[in-house]
Structure 1
Amino acid sequence: MKKRHILHVVGRMHRGGIETWLMDLIRRMDRERYRNSILVHTNQRQDYDDELESLGCRLFRAGAPKRSVHYPEALARAIQAAGPVDIIHSHEHQFSGVILWVARRLGVPVRIAHCHNDTSMTDRLPNLPRAAYASLMRQAIRRNFTLGLACSEKAAPSMFGAEWRRDQRIGVLHCGLDFDRFEVSVDRQEIRSRLGIPLDRWVIGHVGRLEPQKNHRFMLEIAAALRARASNCHFLFVGDGSLRAALEAEMRDLQLEHMVTLLHARNDIPEILRGAMDCFLFPSLHEGLPLALVEAQAAGLPCLFSSSITAEANVFPGDNRVMDLERPAAQWVWSLLELRRAAHPMPASARLPALKRTSLAIDQNVRRLEDVYGSVH
Structure 2
Amino acid sequence: MNPGGIETYLLRFLKFIKDDRSIEPYVLIRSLDQGKLFEQYKVLGIPLFFHPLGYFNLKNIFWFYDFVKRKKFDSVCDFNANFAGIPMWLAKQAGINNRIAFYRQGKDHFKVTFLRKLYNSLVKNLVFTSSTQILSNSKASLNFFFPGWQKSERFKVIYNGMNVDDFHFHEKNLSIRAELGIPLEAFVICHSGRLDPAKNHKTMLKVAKQLIERDKSIFFIFCGLSTEKLQDEVDSMGIMGNVKLLSFRNDVSEILRTSNLFYFPSLTEGQPNSLIEAMLCGLPFVASNIPPIVEIMPESLMSYLIDPLDVEKSVRLIFEVQEKKDHGLTGITQNWARGYFSQDLRFKEFYNCLIN
TM-score (norm 1): 0.85
Q: Match for residue 174 of structure 1?
A: 159
Q: 1:90 offset after TM fit, Å?
A: 0.6
Structure 2 segments unaligned to the other structure (5+ residues): none
Q: 2:208 aligns with which of 213, 220, 223?
A: 223
SS of residue paired to 2:26 = strand
Q: Match for residue 93 of structure 2?
A: 105
Q: 1:63 offset after TM fit, Å?
A: 3.9
The count of corresponding residues between Structure 1 and Structure 2 is: 353
Q: Distance in 1 between matches of 2:316 and 2:116?
A: 36
Q: Match for residue 148 of structure 1?
A: 134
Structure 1 segments unaligned to the other structure (5+ residues): 1-11
Deviations 1:123-165 (A, max 9, x none): 8x87544543432232111111000111011111343x11111
1:33 and 2:19 are equivalent in the alignment: no
Q: Is the 8 A contact 2:9 2:160 kept in 1?
A: yes
Residue type of the partner of 1:250? E
Q: 1:289 offset after TM fit, Å?
A: 1.0
Residue type of the partner of 1:336? I
SS of residue paired to 1:237 = strand
Residue type of the partner of 1:294? I
How do 1:261-300 residues align onto structure 2 when only pairs under 5 Å count?
261-275=244-258, 277-300=259-282
Q: 2:3 aligns with which of 15, 19, 26?
A: 15
How do 1:121-270 residues align onto structure 2 when only pairs under 5 Å count?
127-159=113-145, 161-183=146-168, 186=171, 188-241=173-226, 244-245=228-229, 247-270=230-253
CA RMSD of aligned residues (A): 2.5
Q: 1:186 offset after TM fit, Å?
A: 4.8
Between 296-305 and 263-272, the greater mean CA deviation after superposition: 263-272
Q: 1:203 offset after TM fit, Å?
A: 1.2
Q: Distance in 1 between matches of 2:144 and 2:64?
A: 24
Q: Is the 8 A contact 1:284 1:309 kept in 2?
A: no
TM-score (norm 2): 0.90
Q: Match for residue 323 of structure 2?
A: 341
Q: 1:315 offset after TM fit, Å?
A: 4.8
Q: 1:354 offset after TM fit, Å?
A: 4.4
Residue type of the partner of 1:75? F
Q: Distance in 2 between matches of 1:315 and 1:270?
A: 23
Q: 1:119 offset after TM fit, Å?
A: 0.9
Q: Distance in 2 between matches of 1:334 and 1:312?
A: 24
Q: Is the 8 A contact 2:205 2:234 kept in 1?
A: yes
Q: Is the 8 A contact 1:112 1:146 kept in 2?
A: yes
Q: Distance in 1 between matches of 2:28 and 2:112?
A: 33
1:56 and 2:45 are equivalent in the alignment: yes
Q: 1:361 offset after TM fit, Å?
A: 0.8
